[in-house]
Amino acid sequence: MNPLNGSVDIHATLGSFAVTLNPLTTTLLLSSAPTVELTATILDAEGHTVLDAQGHAVGPTSWATQDPGIATVSTTLSGSELVTAVAVGQTTIVATFNGVAGSATITVAP
């Protein structure tokens, strides 16, 4: 083997993702508008949307609500998440991907 001469910049970032939810904050009305759809975007270290082998945007591996007594979260057929108001108050919905979390604040009003 011959040694290589010269220099080449190599940039590598492993495990660096960001999870962004939309909308970041919303108020649900328990009496008349008790649901909202949330979407999540997974971004790589350069701010590009992470795609799977077929070119589709990758989604979070899990969703959760910090207080299911205020609002619940469930997956819709379109792949977004439906947040449903349960009682007046405030909670946080969290989406995770490879150990990285993003969150949205949900306020439920009467």
For 4-40, what is each residue's pLDDT tens digit? 566 666 555 556 889 999 999 999 999 998 999 998 8
Residue 62 within a domain: yes
Residue 7 within any structural domain of the chain = no
pLDDT of residue 10: 59
Residue type present at position 101? A
The CATH number of the domain where 50 resides is what? 2.60.40.1080
Average pLDDT, the chain: 86
pLDDT at 108 over 90: yes
Structural domain includes residue 88: yes
Provide mean pLDDT across the span 58-76: 90
pLDDT value of residue 24: 93
Boundaries of domain holding 66: 17-109
**pTM greater than 0.75 (yes/no):** yes
Give the pLDDT of residue 94.
95
Q: Please check whether residue 103 lies inside any domain of the structure.
A: yes
Domain presence at residue 102: yes
What's the number of domains the chain is made of?
1
Residue at 59 is within a domain = yes
> How far apart are the C-alpha atoms of 110 and 103, rounded to whole Å?
23
Identify the CA nearest to 28 among candidates 66, 63, 67, 70.
Answer: 70
Residue 47 within any structural domain of the chain: yes
Alpha carbon 11 to chain centroid, angstroms:
26
Residue 2: what pLDDT? 61
